[in-house]
Amino acid sequence: MKRRKLTFWLIVAAVLVLDRITKELAPGIPAGGIMLIPGVIGLRYAENTGIAFSLLSGVPRLTGVLGLAVVAGGYVWLRTKDIAPFPTVALALMAGGALGNMADRLIRGFVPDMIETLFMNFPVFNIADSCLTVGCVLMMISLLCRPKDWAKL
């Protein structure tokens, strides 16, 4: 259990560091953007004052406080639980992504986004968003394919 908690915090820290680095570099992206893989993915700087898909735009501090409450509540509930390795990774990715975006909402009043899909019309997103999404997918896989991991909770 101790090793899983260390793994959890190392993943959270890695997500936060990578997210912070990319968000600090994002304002330097040229106005026309940068094509990384033609027709597939590029970089374009955007500022999002809302949550997913710009929902609740214009109230970033409120969404930041709500995010803080969810992360804190999850931490308090889960800190004494013995969670299996697969869900531990999923939760760590989700926590790191949530904390990264929450910090930006509270400090900056917006979340910097920079990753743009060119093959479909999709909002610009960031590393924290990606980690949240991957964490959610892993969590769904865990819940559907490994329900015994959740029996003790």
Residues annotated as part of the active site: 113, 129
C-alpha 70/C-alpha 6 separation (Å) is 21
C-alpha 81/C-alpha 153 separation (Å) is 7
Residue written as tokens 């964490």?
135
CB 129 within 8 A of CB 97: yes
| CA gyration radius, the chain | 17
**Beta-carbon contacts of residue 119 (< 8 Å; ≥ 6 apart):** 39, 40
